[in-house]
Structure 1
């Protein structure tokens, strides 16, 4: 939790946190659809398709963190794993997109699986 002095020097703006959350959610939803297309074209079935989604969703979060969050955290002198400054919490950042993009993943996965295998 930031101290009052830190909040006075660089306040956390609620609108910015909401914007960051919306941007991350849009990225994860789009990525989930692309992963569904990939899984369908590869012909993945059952657990292998869901593992594919889980691995690549977490990889997307890691890449987003490495390219966007970590450099700004380090430049501000914050610990590298502190996402609370930019998002509502660590769960929202690391795992929030898993359930948000699951429906889009399954939809595009079955669509492209059916198109390729038909």
Structure 2
């Protein structure tokens, strides 16, 4: 267990970073399936379906940032888009969930498209 001195020297706690990453990943996986259901019901095909996924996944990340990360980073004096205190990299935060949830999105998209259109 880290001591108080170690927290003062390195205030970023790896366990907290892993927890934050897991919470964001779970949210993005869940919303990817929900977006797949919506795209299948709407009957989206080809590029329109993928564009739907990318737009709404980025919207989900922006909303997560606005409600969870931005208020705490502004209070602590970090920059507006600095997520390094809560996540490993900014790339992982902003685009990590796009490819992680893509398989679930395609699965539910094709399932519900087939159920509605068949």
Q: Please, what TM-score do these two structures have when normalized by structure 1?
A: 0.92
Q: Identify unmatched segments of 5+ residues in structure 2.
A: 1-6
Q: Identify unmatched segments of 5+ residues in structure 1.
A: 1-6
1:47 corresponding residue in structure 2 = 47
Superposition deviation, residue 113 in structure 1: 0.2
Q: CA RMSD in A?
A: 1.2
1:3 corresponding residue in structure 2 = none
2:94 corresponding residue in structure 1 = 94
2:3 corresponding residue in structure 1 = none
Aligned residues: 112
1:106 aligns with 2:106: yes
Q: Deviations 1:17-58 (Å, cap 9, x if unpaired)?
A: 000000000000000000000000000000000000000000
Q: For residues 10 and 63 of structure 2, what CA distance do their matches in structure 1 show?
A: 26
1:11 corresponding residue in structure 2 = 11
SS at 2:80 equivalent: coil
SS at 1:11 equivalent: coil
1:35 corresponding residue in structure 2 = 35
1:117 aligns with 2:114: no
SS at 2:48 equivalent: helix
Superposition deviation, residue 8 in structure 1: 2.3
SS at 2:49 equivalent: helix
Q: Please, what TM-score do these two structures have when normalized by structure 2?
A: 0.92
